[in-house]
Structure 1
Amino acid sequence: MGTAAYMYDLCKRGLDKIIDPLRKDESLEHFTLAIPEAQTTTVDSVQGWQRRPPAILACPGCDGDMEQPNAIGPISCTNCWREFPNEEFADHELRSMRCPRCETEMQWGRRHPQLFDIPEWATCPDCQYHWDLDHWFKRRRR
């Protein structure tokens, strides 16, 4: 075996030792790009108000929790049975948003509080599911 062939074989064995742990799940069923420490890569990401995660709001009548499972559904209180139309979402205090994948309470916020009185993003700290309000304006084609 020549020197070049020996070096090739040595490099190949070294790379195989590094790559072998990545080959354990060949089905890619559990493969994700999410890195919890960095929290910059998400597993699933959706956009648009219609695809907003379930929200919990404060009831103005009994101060209980009102649930709104989706952005187009009514807002209803399970304690005092009040119901509000979905257009009044911004009129109520948002207490939390729930991840549609794992049911964990999501972190959420507003990037432009002077423009929007609704949440503009939400990210799950457990599974890195991410929702973003799609408010970018479409560019005109020339």
Structure 2
Amino acid sequence: MIERVPDWEKRLNEVIEKHMALPSEYGVSDCYLIPADAFEAITGEKLYPGVRYKTEAGAGKQLRKRGFETVEDAFRARLPEIGRLMAQRGDLGVVERDGVISGGVVTSIGFATRGERSLEFLPATEVKTAFQVGDR
């Protein structure tokens, strides 16, 4: 079982602040990197080591190289799925907008995911699928 590090709340807040200040850009702050950075902050482990890309095509290539079609598949392969409304702060999840799956993390103010221009906080009810990160 994946464990949460003792100061995970502080570390998660730092990740959210970092991504709030970054531009919406593949390989910088996107719908994979936000939850991946959150996962590392919470557990001290990388979700998938060695993931690097600069474009949408590059992001897709990194997923397919690991046998996944979407970030949802990548999360499911590593974490237990839970009821979407059971997700708590620090758990990962995905939303589906216009047929596109986007990853994010549950925070104290909503589900944080990358929008077109900035980090967005959506209501928990918009989460399609949720995944538990460590003991809570």
Is the structural similarity TM-score above 0.5? Answer: no
Larger relative contact order, structure 1 or 2 (CA cutoff 8 Å, min sep 6): 2
Larger Rg: 1
Higher helix share: 2
Q: Give the TM-score taking structure 1 as reference length.
A: 0.28
